[in-house]
Structure 1
Amino acid sequence: MTPRERVLAVLAHERPDRVPIFIGADLTTGILKHAYLNLKAYLGLAPKVERYLYDWPELGAPLIEDVVLEHLHSDVRGVHDRFPAATYHHNRTRPPGTPYWDDWGVGQTEIAPDFYYPSIHPLAQAHTLEEITNYPCWPDMDDPTRYAHIAQQAATLANENRYAIVAAPWLIAPLERACQLQGMETFLVHLIENLDFAQALLEKIKTLCLTHLGYFLKALGDHVDILILGDDLGAQNGPLISPRLYRRILKPIHAEIIAFVKANSPAKILFHSDGDVSAFLDDFVEIGVDILNPIQTSAGQMGNLNEIKRRYGKKLIFCGGIDTQGVLSAGTPEDVRQEVKRVIEILGEDGGYLLAAVHSITNEVPPHNILAMVKAALEYGHYPH
């Protein structure tokens, strides 16, 4: 099979020739800067970053070059939007060491060399509907510089017809956006104590996301196989918010966004949600999620892969599952090899699995463990015919 045929077979809940490798489509399936530089050096390539995802150096995530993706046997290629031209101009001309400001007005402070974190929350004090209406920094989703390159990039990949095309618009995630605008603790308190305000803020974010997706999907046309959405709903040992509150407030928003995508695109929906999201899996199935990522096996009940596969193997495709926190970061190549073998044997039974690390491959992961993951996927991922 070609890489795209391999992925499409999994999307159809059929067995491919081998488990597809899903690396480099976006931030959540990428490699952070220092791990990437170490990997390139290990492969005998010049240890430098040619470009960054979303042309955003402060994100710390390189746009992985094709030569590296070939070494990693990745079966996917990503298509990404951009920030408005004015956002790039502002940040490229700002004084060194000062915060980076994104197009939502969120400030990201350099908390260590080359490491930025969204720590300036412009709506931290807001608590009224008027403050949402009057916020001066809502992003302009009509700005054509966000989408001008997408049609050509997607068409080129489609004409090549070799790799599965994964569309990754940046952070179509209402809860995460709200937490960035207000700070996580502040917004989660509003969800309990000031529900009208919290709902209004989520609705505003949803409306902007839908406008963004309208342009993005129009530019893609039919040249897309998977589209990445998400919201981080899990903590290390359970849900970040109660399932009851999720079903009342966030689930209808996620359902509307997914329905919009499916009405305007042939793409399958990959929903990214870190942590223990086991309490939400039935909800995800109900609202139309096709692919669940990243299957954080180190988080609560998500480590029970046999039960997850038993209950949802006919309903969801699984993407991820290779532990970054422990095995890839601190294990030996043999540890990595055995973990890949274990996860494939469970999640890959009869198909339905895309192999990936749990979220980005972090800076602590040595290059020999990245390559051990890929080598083990090639060794153990083949299906009998």
Structure 2
Amino acid sequence: MSLLTPRERVLAVLNHEVPDRVPIVIGADLTTGIQERAYRRLTTYLGLPQEYQPLYDWPELGAPLPAEAVLERLHSDVRGIQDRFPAETYARNRSRPPGSPYVDDWGVGQPEIEPGVYFPAIHPLKDTQRVENLESYPWPDMHDPTRFAHLRAEAERLAAENRFAIIGAPWLMSPLERAFQLQGMQAFLLNLVDAPDFAAALLRKITDLCKTHLTHFLGEVGEYLDLIILADDLGTQNSLLISPRTYRTLLKPLHAELFALVRQHSRARIFFHSDGDVFPLLDDLVEIGVQVLNPIQTTAGRMANLQELKQRYGERLVFCGAIDTQRVLPFGTVEEVRAEVKRVIEILGAGGGYLLSSVHTIPNETPPENILAMVDAALELAQYG
């Protein structure tokens, strides 16, 4: 088979065809990215300039926007297009007192829990259970032009080059995760039982704001996108965060609205990121339009059974991820990394339908040799499936 361009390679897999090699998805957004310390060690190891630009122009996120030289060495077949936060959010956080929490545009506070690591731990709606209190909350302005002003020029540049698959990566279009950030996970899960009308109203408000944001995003770049990343973490290590019934009643209709909006404004394939064991919801996700499933957390419940995943859903889903970040990538040997890549490709890549990536962000503990072993093994397994 002749060599394909990176975009042709990705499109072949999206069409469930067998390409010249398995495509590699690294660096499009946080879920497919590399944490800061691992990235800095990688660039040092490769002898590349120590330039560092934060993803989403957000230093506290702890992840870089990978330099083009890094993406080239990692043979990434995709390039991501990310939105930004309002100018006011950047200005306020860059002038905040040293050591104080980062506060995002939704009002969620993110303290520094260890040097250089921030986590949403200040939840502004933690003690709220009254629907009327949502009316007075200072919600973010999803019409702020700062969010979108740069998008079209970047999309047009990548489209004119026509080399890489283009992935739209708007930040956290995730109703459930936003609710967790605003209330805290425990408080919101309790409210699903104790204050269901409030929980439903909060999810509705978040979804409406996400839809406004997504409409602007797609209005700028929808025509250029091959994929768009949406997300909501629905699983844990061994089960779901919420029952299938709760998902189908409350969240599934909201996800369906977001996916329908994508289909209305773009031909982009819907790439859905959801950590944990989401196996019980796969039929639901397929039904409402998910086409690419990520990150295939192979240490979580039934998601570990790659043969069953491929057999039951291989004709309906493209799989992206599955290279373990709990043990193999950060703590395994180079030989173990290569063996895991071979195992995953042979199962999920059979007949096409697999995009190679790590299970979520490549963690800080990962040595550069293991990152390179992952991508180089994928290149060497040119004939697969």
TM bucket (normalised to shorter chain) is over 0.9
Matched residue type, 2:131:
L
User: How far off its partner does 1:357 sit?
Assistant: 0.2
Cα-to-partner distance string for 1:263-304 (whole Å, 9 max, x where unaligned): 111100000000000011000100000000000001111000
Superposition TM-score, scaled by structure 2 size: 0.98
Asked if 1:284 corresponds to 2:307, the answer is no
1:113 alignment counterpart: 115
Matched residue type, 2:55:
L
Superposition TM-score, scaled by structure 1 size: 0.98
Which deviates more from structure 2 when the two are superposed, residues 38-47 or residues 345-354? 38-47
2-side partners of 1:107 and 1:382: how far apart? 48
> After TM superposition, where is structure 1 displaced by more than 6 Å over at least 4 residues in a row?
none
1:206 alignment counterpart: 207
Asked if 1:59 corresponds to 2:58, the answer is no
Q: CA-atom RMSD, angstroms? A: 0.8
Asked if 1:7 corresponds to 2:10, the answer is yes
1:4/1:75 contact within 8 Å kept: yes
Matched residue type, 2:46:
L
2:112/2:119 contact within 8 Å kept: yes
Asked if 1:127 corresponds to 2:129, the answer is yes
User: How far off its partner does 1:134 sit?
Assistant: 1.1
1:106/1:181 contact within 8 Å kept: yes
Asked if 1:251 corresponds to 2:249, the answer is no
- Structure 1 segment 326-341 matched on structure 2, within 5 A: 326-341=327-342
Which of 19, 22, 28 is the aligned partner of 2:22? Answer: 19
Listed as ranges, the gaps of 5+ residues in structure 2 are none
User: How far off its partner does 1:335 sit?
Assistant: 0.2
Cα-to-partner distance string for 1:157-192 (whole Å, 9 max, x where unaligned): 000000000000000000000000000000011112
2-side partners of 1:357 and 1:340: how far apart? 10
1:98 alignment counterpart: 100
Matched residue type, 1:382:
Q
Q: Aligned with 1:165: secondary structure?
A: strand
2-side partners of 1:222 and 1:264: how far apart? 8
1:344/1:381 contact within 8 Å kept: no
Matched residue type, 1:166:
I
2-side partners of 1:47 and 1:82: how far apart? 23
1:218 alignment counterpart: 219
User: How far off its partner does 1:47 sit?
Assistant: 3.4
Q: Aligned with 1:124: secondary structure?
A: coil
Which deviates more from structure 2 when the two are superposed, residues 7-16 or residues 308-317? 7-16
Matched residue type, 1:19:
V
- Structure 1 segment 234-313 matched on structure 2, within 5 A: 234-313=235-314
1:291/1:319 contact within 8 Å kept: yes
User: How far off its partner does 1:383 sit?
Assistant: 4.2
1:322/1:357 contact within 8 Å kept: yes
Cα-to-partner distance string for 1:14-33 (whole Å, 9 max, x where unaligned): 11111000000000000000
User: How far off its partner does 1:221 sit?
Assistant: 3.6
2:349/2:384 contact within 8 Å kept: no
Matched residue type, 1:72:
L
1:37/1:48 contact within 8 Å kept: no
2-side partners of 1:2 and 1:383: how far apart? 18
User: How far off its partner does 1:60 sit?
Assistant: 0.2
2-side partners of 1:103 and 1:337: how far apart? 41
User: How far off its partner does 1:39 sit?
Assistant: 0.3
2:23/2:354 contact within 8 Å kept: yes
Cα-to-partner distance string for 1:297-334 (whole Å, 9 max, x where unaligned): 01111000000000000000000000010100110000
Matched residue type, 2:120:
P
